[in-house]
Amino acid sequence: MTGEPFQFNQVKGKIRALAELAGANDAVLVVPLEATGLESDTGLKDYDDLASLLAGASNEQVSMGRKTIAAFTITVDDVNDWATITLSAPIIWSAPTGNPIAKLLFCYDSDTTTGTDANVVPMLAYSFDSTPDGIDLQVNAHANGLIRLT
């Protein structure tokens, strides 16, 4: 992942609470977005749910599929007055194929057993340019974590 992520307007101030995954069946979904037709960051950050976002100009790269994250590492740093959220393990797509991607969305799903994309809340979007070519694709968090909340 490159650069700093942007936070969707809907979750500003809520990311830590969502990343704690306190619900019985909640998780964070990682959704790859295709490079072709991708809306600008300014347009993307205004969507309040994944269904609306995907109904717009941006397309999910469905050949790779979504990944589910069931746990994060959250570290509070009282000296520097921030909390860092990072991946507990790398995200790996085995032998991915399909159209090139340009973004990875991290979305909160409050109930993975029943909900629809209308109930899935986009939280973070990272630039991630990749052309799936059948070689495993591994995503690691930045050295400063997935996001640092200050």
Give residue 70's pLDDT: 84
Give residue 34's pLDDT: 98
Residue 125 has which token pair? Answer: 């979007």
Question: Side chain identity at 138, as an amino acid letter?
Answer: Q
Give residue 3's pLDDT: 67
The total domain count for the chain is: 1
Q: Residues near 80 by Cβ (< 8 Å), separated by ≥ 6?
A: none
Express each pLDDT in 46-75 by its tens digit: 999 999 999 999 999 999 999 999 888 898
Contact of 80 with 61, CB cutoff 8 Å = no
Nearest alpha-carbon partner for 109 in 100, 101, 119: 119
The stretch 110-139 carries a mean pLDDT of 94
The stretch 3-27 carries a mean pLDDT of 82
Residue 130 is part of which domain span? 2-149
Residue 98 has which token pair? Answer: 């399909």
- Given 3-state DSSP classes, what are the helix, strand and coil percentages for the chain, each rounded to the nearest 5? 15, 40, 45
On average, the pLDDT of the chain sits at 91
Give residue 82's pLDDT: 86
DSSP-assigned letter for residue 39: P
